[in-house]
Amino acid sequence: MNDKRAVVLLSGGLDSATTLALARREGFRTATLTIDYGQRHRQELECARRISQALGAWRHTVVSVDLRALGGSALTAGIDVPKDRAQEEIGQGIPITYVPARNTVLLGLALGFAETLQAFDIFIGANAVDYSGYPDCRPEFLTQFERLANLATKAAVEGHGVFRLHAPLLNKTKAEIIQHGMRLGVDYSLTLSCYDPDPEGRPCGRCDSCRLRLKGFEQAGVKDPVTYQELA
């Protein structure tokens, strides 16, 4: 049995699904970790479960941390999600959909999970090209978190291994991510990128995340397989 283990943070979106496929291609026995942090787009939790199964993850775990208690984001509080922003606006400044310290919290949980599994590789679908301007998606943050991982864990301090943080999509455009994922057999109809889907789980097509996704599929020359609300 392959025992090259990795933990993959899996949100249920396009980027994390592609990241899981890449980790699997690299020969890792992957355990997927999804965080229920009280996000308004809760349909992504079911998407993550289905993606994990479809891409052959070894196990899928959901951890609940209610970030609604902190508020401060359109994804966790009663704040409207921005819609219909021009492409040139997206990525300029930090939008209200930023969840305070989210990737720090998520990666901390992934690190703890990895240590319990004796896995020293952690994958995250962070992207710093076609993204919404979040500071915790930048390479500087990821480099520093990897340093922290090797200072803060019993496994690393006792010399059992060195934690490595992988962000294979960091410098890729959405179009490149989609093309790469399709070559790896990712079924993007299982994914949800929208910040404000309707009760049936259909994406709005108007939030920043939807607009970046649609732009990516257009530039990749491929039709997005999901059905959007206004196209239904």
Domain of residue 107, CATH code:
3.40.50.620
Q: Which residue has the higher pLDDT, 93 or 165?
A: 165
In this prediction, residues 75-90 reach a mean pLDDT of 89
Rounded Cα gap, residues 129 and 122, in angstroms:
21
Over the stretch 192-205, which tens digit does the pLDDT of each residue have? 999 999 999 999 99
Instruction: State which amino acid sits at residue 171.
Output: N
Please determine, for residue 90, whether its predicted confidence score (pLDDT) is greater than 70. Answer: yes
Q: Which domain holds residue 95?
A: 5-231
Q: What is the mean pLDDT of the chain?
A: 94
Main-chain phi, psi angles of 66, to 5 degrees? -85, 90
In sequence order, the 6+-apart residues with CB closer than 8 A to the CB of 104 are 136, 145
Distance CA 223, CA 73 (A): 31
- Residue 198 CA from chain centroid, whole number: 20
pTM of the model: 0.95
What is residue 3's predicted lDDT score, i.e. its pLDDT?
81
CB 61 within 8 A of CB 113: yes
pLDDT in tens, 113-137: 999 999 999 999 999 886 667 888 8
Instruction: Specify the pLDDT at position 231.
Output: 55
Query: Region 159-180: what's the mean pLDDT?
Result: 96
127 to each of 54, 130, 157, how far by Cα in Å? 23, 7, 30
Report the alpha-carbon angle 137-139-145, nearest 5. 85
Q: What pLDDT score does 132 carry? A: 67
Total of domains in the chain? 1
